[in-house]
Structure 1
Amino acid sequence: MKTHNIQFVVIILVGIMGMISCSKKSDNPVAPGGSQTTELKLTIGTQQITFNQGIGGYAVNENVSYIQFTKVEAGDTLMFTMIFTGKATGNQNWDVNNDLGAILIQYGASGTLIYSPLNGSTNITAYGNVGSYISGTFTGQLQDSNGSSVNVSGNFSVQRLADIQSIGKGNNSPSISNRLKQ
């Protein structure tokens, strides 16, 4: 049962990449600009990882923005996703009950590890128009399915794609964090 839940979550997160069922609005952001490079510099524990492939955008139905980065390294795929409220600059605390925060998934040669948000905050420093950039920093703790926690921090910048209608979380669906714990 737990494997099916994990597969469902992975499908939803990967689906974000393919769901460009667009709203044509591009006049809805704050603080254009930010770094003009797509990059995530992640520190997890003492390990530093740089990602250079990512997407970002806004989901209309849930009123959330997302960033997602992937990287293949040493036979493993790493996927980092962060979800935060709205489409504006500012600091936001992670709210694990409402799927706000960071998730790190590693799968491949070394097995599957899923780290869900325990606590933390994200500071959005730039939120540009569609085609411009979403940038910010974050710090917090992630927890694996065994209950072990690890400190994370980093900074990111990603080009904002056209708005999508939904990231697939229905109003009556349990949070991603709660599905991972089942």
Structure 2
Amino acid sequence: MTISNKLSKFVLVCGLAAASVGATSVMAKGDMHRGMNPQAGFLLSERGINKLQLTEAQQAQLKAIFAEQTTQMKALRGDKGSMKDNRIAYKEKMDALLATHAFDENAARELIKARQEKGEQFALIKMKSEHAIWQVLNAEQRESYQEIKKQLRKKGHKKGLHRVDGERNKAERTHS
């Protein structure tokens, strides 16, 4: 084996080792609240618990609220297979609607209505959870939580994680 081959293998091994260490630290940080909504991730994190001075009873109540919300959302979404089937069915209906010689406004309205109803159900679940969270927090915690939410919205706004007048966010623009 030549020196350049040995050096190449050494560089490769070092690179893989560094990548695995970096991936492990990212996974250790992010996996705890993976799949949760950002609100749950914050409220159940050490930072959220400390900033709002949540009691253990409040933490348990919040965990139960978010667990229930997750269960309801998953039930509404269905499994990955049914989600894929729903997308395919929607696309087929849309394609059939667009392929007709004369535009069928009633069929279009039905397609839109079905999609909006599901969105309304998701919104209702989120609002119920928000209400339940509000009932768990005391007046001082509510005020602090509102302020934190404002700051997080501003932070997201600065990072380009918002939409203004239908404009795509920065991440989408760079990949287009």
Q: Same fold by TM (over 0.5)? A: no
Higher helix share: 2
Structure showing greater Rg: 2
Per the normalisation by structure 2, the TM-score is 0.22
Per the normalisation by structure 1, the TM-score is 0.21
Query: Which structure is higher in RCO with an 8 Å CA cutoff and minimum separation 6?
Result: 1
Higher strand share: 1
